Chains A and B, each alone.
Chain A
Amino acid sequence: MSDIQSDTHSEHHIVSPKVYLAIFAALMVCTFLTVKAAEIDLNAYFSGLNIIIALVIATLKASLVVLFFMHGKYSPKRTQMVIICSIFWLAIMLFMTMSDYVTRPWK
């Protein structure tokens, strides 16, 4: 048991305030970018590019929060697996439902 512990235990890793401040700064830059990007008509270049950029930035921001503020990066593997499962299940719901709706020829 204690062997497994020493392998996987990293929860009590202390993240320094400097890292938190850097992440906060990155999140602020991303927020600014997402507002600026929405004000440009990117759809003119590629249909749906605006929403793609908005979601990429939001996903990046969420990843930073999970990895650093929520200590996901320093969590044991089994906790990381639970985190990934949640994304996977959400993806199943969104993907399967939308693939049904967009392939209904009678609509």
Chain B
Amino acid sequence: MHRTGELYGQFETLDQQRESASLGMWVFLVTEVLFFGGMFMTYTLNRSTYPDVFGEASRSINLGLGAFNTVVLIGSSLTMAMSVWAAQVGKKQLVTIFLILTLILGTVFLGVKGVEYHEKFVEHHVPGLNFNFEPGASVATNAHAQLFFSLYFAMTGLHALHMIIGAGLLIWLIKESFKGRFNPGYSTPVDLVGLYWHFVDIVWIFLFPLLYLIDRH
């Protein structure tokens, strides 16, 4: 890993080595798809069972912040893709700059998420003892709204955890990139963290309409 552009014995060419690494990352991402898939399954089932309460609960989430975060996260995917490009064409300084931009955008996303979570705490929308969907809500409505918010926190929380891990990986990449480790012959770590980061972006692409945009009309 640490020796630049080295070809390992089991591979014939650098391209083959690179392809194997990327294939391995994709296999990991398949397990991630199924990991998140279980939650999407639970969501689908509960939303189809309680469509009206899910719509009401969804409307109580801050759409402006959610849309802003979507733009920020897709922007961070762009800067991540650009740092992969910079590594491939050997622009070492640009690699570092784009990685730092990605980290900044990722941090902004997490910060905004924190603000949204705070809003939910203030509104008593966090599942648990103090949960109260709205004044005068029936027991059933409260219970079903709690289902929605449990899914909201579990899904966005797991997504945020992935973002935090991604941010850690980015910090490591930035450190390595400062040392000039990545070049056209060796950019595997940037490529693979890139794949991971884009995957996390895709999860959000589905979470955003499913959680924020139910019956907004």
Binding site for B on A (CB under 8 A): 1-2, 5, 9, 11-12, 14-17, 20-21, 23-24, 27-28, 31, 34-35, 38-41, 43, 50-51, 54-55, 57-58, 61-62, 65-66, 68-70, 75-76, 78-79, 82-83, 85-87, 89-90, 93-94, 97-98, 101-102
Contact = CB atoms under 8 A, between A and B. Distances in A.
B205 A61 contact: yes
A40 B217 contact: yes
Interface in B5-21: 12-13, 15-16, 18-19
Contact of A20 (B22, B34, B85, B213): B85
Interface bracket on B: 35 or more
Contacts of B82: 17, 20
Contacts of A21: 78
A33 B174 CA distance: 35
Nearest to A62: B202
B131 interface: no
B216 interface: yes
Given A14-B85, A65-B201, A69-B198, A31 B74 contact: yes
B206 A102 contact: no
Interface of B: 12-13, 15-16, 18-19, 22-23, 26-27, 29-30, 33-34, 37-38, 40-41, 44-45, 48, 63, 67, 70-71, 74-75, 77-78, 80-82, 85, 88-89, 194-195, 198-199, 201-202, 205-206, 208-210, 213-217
Which DSSP category, helix, strand, loop or mixed, fits chain A's interface?
helix
Contacts of B44: 94, 98
Contacts, number: 142
Contacts of B67: 31, 35
B24 to A, nearest CB: 10
Contacts of B215: 38, 43, 50
A11 B213 contact: no
3 shortest interchain CB distances as A-B pairs: A38-B213, A54-B209, A86-B30
A66 B206 CA distance: 14
Given A5-B16, A93-B34, A17 B198 contact: no
A72 to B, nearest CB: 9
23 contacts: A5-B12, A16-B85, A17-B82, A21-B78, A28-B71, A31-B70, A34-B208, A38-B216, A39-B216, A54-B209, A57-B209, A58-B208, A58-B209, A58-B210, A66-B202, A69-B77, A69-B81, A70-B194, A79-B19, A82-B23, A89-B34, A93-B38, A93-B41
B140 to A, nearest CB: 16
